[in-house]
């Protein structure tokens, strides 16, 4: 079963408007910083329970590319139930995105990890372990199913390799 979440656009835009969001220039890890700040703000406000910092993959139509192109990107956001609150994409007006969660951390665990010195970039970004590999495979498969005309043979081979890796991981 594919786990895919969709953006809560209103909540994301409201929160992004109430806090400084630095989308950077597609720098790796800036979304992690923005997501953690949103997590702590939601936690302090007590409006969302439970609230999690989530890392996984998104797929969106990159309208800034010379030809609109569906991109699979490592990304971080906040998850509450089945809702995604993403101040980073809201600030960039990327509302047509599908989210494929990999790992979730509750607020307390995020605080602990930051205190332990894990304050740079993501906590466990990139396909590491079963959850992140599954999220990556799901995002790539969604891209293949949704935009088959934009998927090259090399992309199909890439997805097959990752699917085989996932099969190996889940056999253990």
pLDDT at 103 exceeding the cut of 80: yes
Percent of the chain surpassing pLDDT 90:
23
**pLDDT exceeds 70 at position 138:** yes
Half-sphere exposure of 136 (CA within 13 A, CB side): 20
Q: How many domains does the chain have?
A: 1
Mean pLDDT over residues 79-91, rounded? 88
Q: What is the pTM of this model?
A: 0.86
pLDDT at 137 over 80: yes
Tell me the pLDDT of the chain averaged across its residues.
83
Quick one: pLDDT at residue 52?
A: 93
Give me the phi and psi of 111, to 5 degrees please.
Answer: -55, -45
Strands (E), the chain: 5-7, 52-62, 69-80, 83-85, 97-106
* Tens of pLDDT, residues 31-43: 888 999 999 998 8
- For residue 139, the enclosing domain spans 5-171
């Amino acid at each position: 079963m594919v786990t895919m979440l969709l953006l809560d656009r209103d909540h994301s835009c409201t929160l992004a408007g109430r806090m400084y969001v630095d989308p950077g220039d597609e720098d790796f890890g800036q979304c992690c910083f923005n997501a953690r700040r949103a997590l702590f703000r939601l936690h302090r406000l007590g409006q969302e329970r439970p609230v999690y910092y989530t890392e996984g993959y998104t797929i969106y139509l990159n309208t800034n590319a010379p030809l609109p192109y569906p991109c699979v990107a490592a990304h971080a956001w906040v998850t509450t139930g089945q809702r995604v609150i993403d101040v980073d994409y809201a600030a960039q007006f990327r509302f047509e995105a599908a989210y494929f969660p990999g790992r979730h951390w509750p607020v307390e665990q995020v605080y602990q990890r930051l205190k332990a010195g894990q304050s740079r970039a993501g906590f466990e970004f990139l396909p590491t372990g079963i959850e992140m590999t599954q999220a990556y495979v799901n995002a790539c498969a969604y891209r293949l199913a949704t935009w088959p005309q934009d998927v090259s043979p090399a992309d199909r081979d890439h997805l097959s390799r990752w699917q085989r890796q996932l099969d190996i991981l889940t056999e253990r």
